[in-house]
Structures are given as structure tokens and as C-alpha cells.
Amino acid sequence: MFNFTLEKNLGWLLLISVLIATPANAHTEKVSKDVGGMLHIEPNDNPQAGKTAHAWIVLTRKGGRLIPLTQCNCQLAVYPQPHSETDTPLLKPSLHNVSTKQYKNIPGAEIVFPKVGAYELELSGTPKSGASFKPFVLSYTVTVGS
């Protein structure tokens, strides 16, 4: 009934192991106090070592109202994994306004991850004058490929 050769069986096993071992970074959501954040990285939530990745985070208040970068004293820090709380960030990319089809003026940055591996992106923020949300820290684990 089934006529599988050794090559076909090995091919399927390889495909399945790649699918299982491939991390899913797509649109990771986190919450800190009354602020939520959804991370997206281009290209295709699959950053590559040594190449520029475009990261942006949609910040929202409880209830879903957007927090634009103009209302937030935000900072982004990138740490290699594992790391301790006393470690200095590997990178501190500048944040700028990003606008997409759906979102306007959200925090974004260009990041060049130096090598393959796991990294932690930590976005911290406090409200600027006139904004009403609690200070927050959002941490995301990102796996960088070759």
C-alpha cells in the first residue's frame, strides 16, 4: 500500500524536524501594567544575523487605544541570551516613528543582530506630559538565524 523509500522517509523526517525546531516569533504580544505591546520584525518576523531588521512595537493602553511614540519616553535595549539584570545592553537602537497600513507613529528601530542566536529586546517607557499610562517594561525573546 505505501511504497516509501529510505530517501523519502529521511526527507519527511528532515522536513518535520525543521518545522518543529523553527521558532515562531510572529507578532509576539506582552503586557506590563496597563500597557500592551505587539512586536513585529521585518523581514517576515525572521531576522538574519548581520542584516538590518526593521522592528516595530504597537503599544496600546488597556482598552486598545494606541500609544504613539510622541506620547512615550521609550527606550529599546537588546541583550544576548542568556543575560543577567546587571548586564549592559549589547545594542541601544534609536527609536523613530513608524507608520504602517493600520498603525500611525508607533515606535520602531533598525537592528543589526551581530550573530545567530537568541536575544532579548526590552522596551521600557514612561508617559510624556499629557499622556496617561503607567511606566512599563516589555521583554521579547527573538531568535536570529543565519
Residue 1 lies in a domain: no
For the whole model, what pTM was predicted?
0.79
Question: pLDDT tens digits, residue range 83-95?
Answer: 888 899 999 999 9
Residue 2 lies in a domain: no
Residue 35 lies in a domain: yes
Residue 85 lies in a domain: yes
Residues 24, 41 contacting (CB under 8 angstroms): no
Q: Which among 31, 77, 46 is positioned nearest to 142, based on CA atoms? A: 46
**Residues, the chain, total?**
146
Residue 14 lies in a domain: no
Supply angle C-alpha 109, 115, 116, rounded to 5: 100
User: How many domains does the chain divide into?
Assistant: 1
The domain in which residue 140 lies consists of 25-144
Residue 5 lies in a domain: no
Determine the pLDDT at residue 59. 97
Question: pLDDT tens digits, residue range 14-56?
Answer: 322 333 333 444 577 899 999 999 999 998 889 999 999 999 9
* H or E stretch at 127: strand 117-127
CB atoms under 10 Å from CB of 122, counted, come to 16
Q: What CATH number does the domain containing 65 carry?
A: 2.60.40.3340
